[in-house]
Structure 1
């Protein structure tokens, strides 16, 4: 009995010793001239500091301690290097598919079934990209046709959830709106009951995307996996409904339709699970990040009457030039230059997403250091977006930074990626956010109830109380 208790008490130490031995045997530890930094604890590395502190602080602390150019760490179970500053951004974006490829942390791999080769049919990343780009859904000329519907959905949401209210919580309403827009655009569906079922599940998935991949009841990862399964089940119903309508002659007019029609080189179609996983990824991207930008726009503008007045003037000019009931068009969007500058500043101050991962396809050398094949590369806007070297008075919301004729060094602020990796959804996001700003500004003036509300410190900023705001109705 005593021997059993002794062995049980020693088990954690034995496990740690074994892990350490295997870590020392890792050939990448023997690689010469690795970047400065620390891999932290075996397996966990520095994940806890990365997830439960502010990622921005995590990066800046290590830039000061190790190097302002490049450092190594271990986060989310992966040996990782962080490339810092504009030069790091440029190097990363200029070498996509040459030195680097996209990578999802394990917590994300479990959520997005399509990332795993779970089914018999596997569509390459290049083919997957063509599914989205070939119909041209995300190009401006295609989005022009969708803009009126986007405006119509936004107006209806304002009438249903905003008008007549003294106080609302901006973040939940922004999420409902963005999911409604994404479902209509990607799925061709605007069923309000379906959207209501999806919203809470998407929240859990978003939180689980950058969590410790320990899935047992009570953990963020467990809730996220349950939510992802529920979303895929709902999307399975949508896919079957879509296939039935297409069999009856419905034309392919949305991304889901073209994904259903897509084939691999041998002519085989994707499985329902693969389609659901890919569509879920698109919906997540078109949901949380856009809603976050909308919400923090209301937060910052609500605290700056001078900026609100300028946006109101611009949006009033757009509104008064329209006939009664006439929807927004492309020319109207082009007139919203100041409003877009404000949104850019909002995203600089509170990026909708802190960064993204890549994987090294081969050994490469950067800044005199060698990074082994298979290591992960993390890029983050936080190394530049609040650096006073590039943005004087960086904590100040200053839309004039982006006025015509003014410029800042390339790759200092890349909210939508850059170069070959410029997010294909940039124009979609711009239209969705500007349509929201137009509709909310022409209807309301607002006051933030908790102006100093703490901003969540995880990978995606979240207003802890939903950003309550008091509304004062007006009409322009």
Structure 2
């Protein structure tokens, strides 16, 4: 899931991390460009500005100062061209295989990949971009997993939500999305096993963009160790699955992604190596652990804040729930009926995208908007140049799911999953996961935010600083309460405090 992995760039770390990184990795280049912009301070570049301002403000200020089309900067020790607007998105997405190739920061590669792959071009190790992996993640292939998603969502809510009056959404959404990924990708449902893998992944995500010096006790050292632990565990899982396949013990496991990866050949007629399979699964797990859980969290945030949006989602989801028989799970036809719910989720993705953009490397000199982009430079595109542009989204700070009705936004303006050949192959998986979870939450609970003004910070993805604590109001309780009130509250975050 290369696009989602490269999305983990956003927070560009703290100034000290940046400085140390650049001292080690600063690269010389004689390539010249007439791009407007600034390379910032020697060694440090503009990393401090990026970290302090945040991606959205940083890019917006430089678009006004230098160019609304493209500008130069220096980030992560690399000379970089930042492409802006829908035209910039279109240019990068449509020239993926001609002028550009994938690129990750060294720190990310060392945390995620086997040492044998770290110095290889990213395109050689992102096996998720192979056509047959994309086929596995297409809607028609994912339909079989909807009932499993529904079953796990029900069990998760029953175990981790229903016994309590108050919960924190963000850590629980991470727990659910990671457990679901382990189940669907590798048929792992042992809670202790899942928790152990999750702990290793936490080390990775906490340290991928910290000080890139591998000294005992540092976050980066933890990321390196976490990556090795995950890779070792995955190699054991792959070896055990191979053993079961040879002994015909894979009967009940053949539908998961791991068995499919082991049995399918690529476009060259070759099987994937164990390391390639491990790279692919790590990509999927990192994506599901961070970006999908972030999306689930902020979808529920807006449902808790905006009563009229919640009511429309509830009406749509209750209609589906009432059409099901006792114990009957959701299916593809049910998902297709969730039109307003998905528009609501897309609006949440527009306002708080789970990631900020993606990198590429220039493989041949080219010109854009009258400027020269030299070979060897890196490029960066970001959701923030279009998602809140009033030309594309009038009154951009307003939460309005109707923006996605009919033909929806103009091409290349709504890009939470990227675009072109590198568009995130897991976007349909994320859609199913978000909708199934949303269905189960709203048909059981109303949500009341306990911290209306909770701050959102950025690590590898946007994070509510206190985990988004909410009060759960079961529907049977909300009906009882409604009999004692004149009207429903309309202030987001106020909800039911005055009624109890």
Distance 1:266 1:289 in 2: 32
Q: CA deviation at 1:137?
A: 1.8
Cα-to-partner distance string for 1:185-216 (whole Å, 9 max, x where unaligned)? 22222222111112233233223344453333
> Would the aligned equivalents of 1:311 and 1:339 in 2 still touch at CA under 8 Å?
yes
Range that drifts further, 167-176 or 207-216: 207-216
Distance 2:84 2:218 in 1: 32
Partner of 2:62 in structure 1?
A: 62
SS in 2 for 1:158: helix
Range that drifts further, 420-429 or 125-134: 125-134
Picking from 350, 353, 368, the partner of 1:351 is: 353
Partner of 1:371 in structure 2?
A: 373
Partner of 1:9 in structure 2?
A: none
Distance 1:317 1:265 in 2: 44
Q: CA deviation at 1:128?
A: 5.0
Range that drifts further, 85-94 or 218-227: 218-227
Partner of 1:74 in structure 2?
A: 74
Cα-to-partner distance string for 1:90-133 (whole Å, 9 max, x where unaligned)? 0000011111111111121111215853699x994686533653
Range that drifts further, 443-452 or 430-439: 443-452
Q: CA deviation at 1:272?
A: 4.2
Q: TM-score, normalised by structure 2?
A: 0.84
Q: CA deviation at 1:79?
A: 1.3
Cα-to-partner distance string for 1:331-383 (whole Å, 9 max, x where unaligned)? 10111111101110111110001111111111111111111111111111001
Partner of 2:160 in structure 1?
A: 161
Picking from 381, 393, 401, the partner of 1:391 is: 393
> Would the aligned equivalents of 1:93 and 1:421 in 2 still touch at CA under 8 Å?
yes
Partner of 1:8 in structure 2?
A: none
1:392-431, aligned counterparts within 5 Å? 392-405=394-407, 407-431=408-432
Q: CA deviation at 1:218?
A: 4.5
Does residue 1:280 correspond to 2:279, yes or no? Answer: no
> Would the aligned equivalents of 1:207 and 1:220 in 2 still touch at CA under 8 Å?
yes
Distance 2:126 2:202 in 1: 29
Cα-to-partner distance string for 1:262-293 (whole Å, 9 max, x where unaligned)? 67899876654443233111211122111001
Picking from 329, 334, 341, the partner of 1:339 is: 341
Does residue 1:88 correspond to 2:63, yes or no? Answer: no
Partner of 1:38 in structure 2?
A: 38
SS in 2 for 1:277: helix
> Would the aligned equivalents of 1:315 and 1:438 in 2 still touch at CA under 8 Å?
yes
Q: CA deviation at 1:325?
A: 0.6
Q: CA deviation at 1:53?
A: 3.8
Cα-to-partner distance string for 1:6-63 (whole Å, 9 max, x where unaligned)? xxxxxxxxx99xx8xx97x6312xx242x11112233432223323541112211221
Q: CA deviation at 1:164?
A: 1.9
Does residue 1:216 correspond to 2:215, yes or no? Answer: yes
> Would the aligned equivalents of 2:290 and 2:460 in 1 still touch at CA under 8 Å?
no
Partner of 2:256 in structure 1?
A: 254
> Would the aligned equivalents of 2:363 and 2:376 in 1 still touch at CA under 8 Å?
yes
Q: CA deviation at 1:147?
A: 0.7
Distance 1:62 1:212 in 2: 27
> Would the aligned equivalents of 1:110 and 1:225 in 2 still touch at CA under 8 Å?
yes
Partner of 2:443 in structure 1?
A: 442
Picking from 23, 26, 30, the partner of 1:27 is: 30
Partner of 1:176 in structure 2?
A: 175
Partner of 1:12 in structure 2?
A: none
- Alpha-carbon spacing, 1:473–1:129, altered in 2? closer, same or farther (3 Å): same
> Would the aligned equivalents of 2:110 and 2:118 in 1 still touch at CA under 8 Å?
no
Q: TM-score, normalised by structure 1?
A: 0.88
- Alpha-carbon spacing, 1:242–1:332, altered in 2? closer, same or farther (3 Å): same
Is there any run of 5+ residues in structure 2 with no aligned partner, and where?
1-18, 480-500
Q: CA RMSD in A?
A: 2.7
Picking from 276, 284, 308, the partner of 1:306 is: 308
- Alpha-carbon spacing, 1:433–1:126, altered in 2? closer, same or farther (3 Å): closer
> Would the aligned equivalents of 1:107 and 1:208 in 2 still touch at CA under 8 Å?
no
Partner of 2:16 in structure 1?
A: none
> Would the aligned equivalents of 1:112 and 1:280 in 2 still touch at CA under 8 Å?
yes
Cα-to-partner distance string for 1:136-170 (whole Å, 9 max, x where unaligned)? 32111111111111111111111110112110110
> Would the aligned equivalents of 1:36 and 1:66 in 2 still touch at CA under 8 Å?
yes
Distance 2:271 2:136 in 1: 21
SS in 1 for 2:403: helix
Cα-to-partner distance string for 1:217-275 (whole Å, 9 max, x where unaligned)? 45432222222222222222212221211121226433323444567899876654443
> Would the aligned equivalents of 1:83 and 1:89 in 2 still touch at CA under 8 Å?
yes
Range that drifts further, 240-249 or 314-323: 240-249
Distance 1:106 1:295 in 2: 30
> Would the aligned equivalents of 1:444 and 1:473 in 2 still touch at CA under 8 Å?
yes
Is there any run of 5+ residues in structure 1 with no aligned partner, and where?
1-14
- Alpha-carbon spacing, 1:128–1:461, altered in 2? closer, same or farther (3 Å): closer
> Would the aligned equivalents of 1:168 and 1:469 in 2 still touch at CA under 8 Å?
yes
Distance 1:219 1:105 in 2: 18
> Would the aligned equivalents of 1:108 and 1:208 in 2 still touch at CA under 8 Å?
no
